[in-house]
Amino acid sequence: MSGPDKPKVIGEEWSDERVKSFLDLTPWDQGINADYFVLDRAYESMRAEDFERFIGFFVAAGRDLNATNPQGHTILDRISRHRRSVDYVRALEAAGAKVSAPAG
């Protein structure tokens, strides 16, 4: 998040340690799946290249790419609706992420 005390930095290189640090995030609301929460925060915070690296670490850690939010949607469901998210979608699909089953 940027602001007066934290200026936005464009094109900053993220180390593997910084990317991996998102694996340690925990949701503040117990009703949110921890894996979905981490994926959502990574998507909102990272450039596509860093997000793709993060997905590799996430999968290697045995986390669930198809975790759902309280409404039953996966992160791929959410990201697929955004016009400028093609690279994020590709990274998720390449790692095996799926959209949730359509409501009947």
What percent of the chain has pLDDT above 90? 71
Is 67 among the domain residues?
yes
pLDDT for res 104: 41
Total number of domains constituting the chain: 1
Whether the Cβ atoms of residue 45 and residue 54 lie closer than 8 Å to each other: no
Q: Please tell me which residue, 26 or 101, carries the higher pLDDT value.
A: 26
Residues 46-97 have pLDDT tens digits of 999 999 999 999 999 999 999 999 999 999 999 999 888 999 999 999 999 9
Give the confidence band of 3 by pLDDT, cuts at 50, 70, 90.
very low
Query: Is residue 6 in some structural domain?
Result: no
Q: For all residues of the chain together, what is the average pLDDT?
A: 87
Kindly calculate the radius of gyration of the chain based on its CA atoms and give it in whole angstroms. Answer: 14
∠ CA(6), CA(10), CA(15), 5° rounding?
A: 85
Q: Is residue 101 part of a domain?
A: no
44 falls within a domain: yes
Instruction: Please indicate, yes or no, if residue 7 is contained in any of the structural domains.
Output: no
**78 assigned to some structural domain:** yes
* Residue 40 falls inside a structural domain: yes
99 domain residue, yes or no: no
